[in-house]
Amino acid sequence: MEEILRQQIEQIVPLTDDEFTQILTYFGERKFKKNQYLIQAGDYAPNDFFVTKGLLKSSFTDEHGKEHILQFAMENWWMSDPQAYHNSLKASLNVSCLEDTHTYFISLDNREKLCADWQKMEHFFRKKTQAGYVALQRRILSLMSQTAAERYTQFVQLYPQLLQRVPKALIASYLGVSRETLSRLFLH
């Protein structure tokens, strides 16, 4: 499993075996069962999770009890409640498993230590965060300017694997469309 984390880092910065062994000591390893929660709204959310196997969703439940899907994370993706994690606040999001999931996780303290000790890891996290920022901005543009059909087409192109693994109702929530609209789109 640790090879997936190593490959993730090495997409941006090369590592020797010895370096990776040392970097790995900043991480913990944890398995979760399907439907189990990694983060619950109202609790602290001290870890950023890297998925090596399985599938997660993060969601926000509004005051009317409606769940809005913010993100999915499958193998090779990161997942946290970023606002809670980076500011040591209580979570506003729930993160739970759509499949049995294996993760490596890093606390904020360890992330900051790792970045201070290893400039290449500071570089890695800067680049990853920048890529995440660009993806979020694309999502905002999509929510503001695209029709349900356009959003669905973009989702299929960007994340064909998720389409196979995520229940349709959750994809509809992620896209901000009704389940009925999504069903209609599936028929085309």
CA distance 28 to 152: 36
Task: Copy the structure tokens of residue 104.
Answer: 């490596």
Quick one: which of 55, 72, 82, 103 contacts a copy of itself (CB under 8 A)?
Answer: 82
Distance in Å, CB of 89 to a copy of itself, minimum: 10
3-state secondary structure of 166: coil
To the nearest whole angstrom, how small is the minimum distance from the Cβ of residue 79 to a copy of itself?
Answer: 12
Cβ of residue 137: shortest distance to a copy of itself, in angstroms?
6
Site string for a copy of itself, 119-158 (x = CB under 8 A): x--xx-xx--xxxxxx-xxxxxx-xxx-------------
113 binds a copy of itself (CB under 8 A): no
The minimum distance between CB 68 and a copy of itself, in angstroms, equals 5
* 168, 182 contact by CB (below 8 A): yes
Question: With binding defined as CB under 8 A, does residue 184 bind a copy of itself?
Answer: no
Shortest reach from residue 116's CB to a copy of itself, in Å? 8
How many chain residues bind a copy of itself (CB under 8 A)? 33
Distance CA 101, CA 81 (A): 17
Task: Name the region of 42 (left: φ>0; alpha: ψ -120 to 50; beta: rest).
Answer: left
- Phi/psi of residue 96, nearest 5 degrees: -140, 170
Helical axes 17-24 vs 2-10, angle rounded to 10°: 110
- Closest by CA position to 13, among listed 120, 130, 127, 125: 120
Contacting positions for a copy of itself (CB under 8 A): 60, 62, 66, 68, 70, 82-83, 86-87, 92, 115-116, 119, 122-123, 125-126, 129-134, 136-141, 143-145, 176
